[in-house]
A and B are shown apart, each in its own frame.
Chain A
Amino acid sequence: MSKSAPESTSEAIFDPRVLPDYGWYESGQSALSGSLLELYRRIDNMFLKWASECQAAEFFFPTFISARELAKLDYFRSFPHLVTFPASLDAADDNLKRFTEGTPLDQEGGVHLTALDPVRNVLTPAACYHFYILFQGQALAEPRYVTTRATCFRRETHYLPLQRQWNFSMREIVCIGNSDEVKAFLGRYTEKVQAFFERIHLPVNWVNATDPFFNPSKNPKFLAQRLDPVKTEMVFRTGLAIGSVNFHRNYFGEAFQIQRQEQEAFSGCVAFGIERWIFAFLNEFGPDQKQWPDLNTF
């Protein structure tokens, strides 16, 4: 659930496209192999190890989220500029025939679509949404600690290798409980992550931020986040947010009727953008993997 500060910086930025283990697609996607794929796995394994410290149960979720569920969060009014929909052709014979008999692509590579099936799903925009939907209507006898890694999709105005992608990997560690349980969880992980940054000498500042709302000046949720900050980003020295700590208050508990001690549950998450961590490592420690910190010790 993280939004980055502008990437502009006077310092030279390492371009991963020079590496043989890296592939970039202009559509805003990355391919990793060799040392970079190993780094991806090591970073995520470290997050998983951190998640195990609160006995977080790991989940694997599908790529789609029901649009009906997402609408409960007012998502389509708040983030229409980010959303990506899976679309498929209306399966009626005459429609498919029209499609096959037409020109499939225009000169820019755009598909000439005929009639579409109704769009009822969205490609996952944030990993932790899946949990609130899955747990909806439940009364929690104790706080729940959970984790997942999801490929998240956010359409942007422009894309940059590893920094700003249409789809990217997000690992989240989530707590759903009462207010004190969630605050203690977020405090514990903020300290943990900060201690990690200090030990490996990764220059990261913690900065209050807001979610990237559409038309923010007209959105009361933006005003509320500004006046009562609930998101703190881990901002790497180039200005790129590589993760965030988020206190949702009881927003998801209310939207999905999750109860804790007979009240709407509170929730919070620690989120890490894995490609952005790779970007930070390449920029801080260079492309030679021998220079990278040994993540097995954290």
Chain B
Amino acid sequence: MKTESEIRQTLREWIVRTSGKIRAEELDDDTPIIERRIISSLQLTDLILMLERLSDSPIDIEMLKPGVFRDINTIYRNFFEPARA
């Protein structure tokens, strides 16, 4: 089981690698990755697949609420926090 900081680091590296639009030092945990289109709509599907692998649990796209991928903080809260049902 990865720690919180390992998960956040993995997310950060994936976003930087996938986007190609932002350097690691420019990406904070509250940088809005969808609004700024750091992650494009085409890459959103890859993000969901990556989160399924990292959290080891399936994501039901139909159940996703607006804003769940806003930034790394939001993604961590929604998909990795221990309280997640």
A residues contacting B by CB (< 8 A) are 179, 208, 220-221, 223-229, 249-251, 254
Contact = CB atoms under 8 A, between A and B. Distances in A.
Nearest to B39: A224
A228 B34 contact: yes
B69 interface: yes
Interface in B17-50: 34-37, 40-42, 44-45
Given A227-B34, A249-B35, A208 B66 contact: yes
Given A220-B42, A220-B44, A227 B66 contact: yes
A250 B38 CA distance: 10
A208 B66 CA distance: 10
Nearest to B42: A220
7 contacts: A220-B45, A224-B34, A226-B66, A227-B68, A228-B34, A228-B35, A228-B67
Interface in B57-76: 61, 64-70
A249 B68 CA distance: 17
B44 A249 contact: no
Interface of B: 34-37, 40-42, 44-45, 61, 64-70
A45 B37 CA distance: 36
A220 B66 contact: no
Contact of B37 (A208, A223, A229, A254): A254
B66 A228 contact: yes
A254 B34 CA distance: 14
A208 B42 CA distance: 21
Contacts of B35: 179, 228, 249
Contacts of B37: 249-251, 254
A179 B41 CA distance: 18
Contacts of B66: 208, 226-229
A190 B35 CA distance: 19
B77 to A, nearest CB: 15
Contacts of B61: 223
A272 B78 CA distance: 36
Contact of A250 (B36, B65, B67): B36
B41 A223 contact: yes
Contact of B41 (A208, A224, A229): A224
Contact of A227 (B40, B42, B69): B69
Contacts of A227: 34, 44, 64-69
Given A227-B67, A229-B66, A249-B36, 17 more contacts: A179-B36, A208-B66, A221-B41, A223-B41, A223-B44, A224-B34, A224-B41, A227-B34, A227-B44, A227-B66, A227-B68, A228-B34, A228-B35, A228-B69, A228-B70, A249-B35, A249-B37
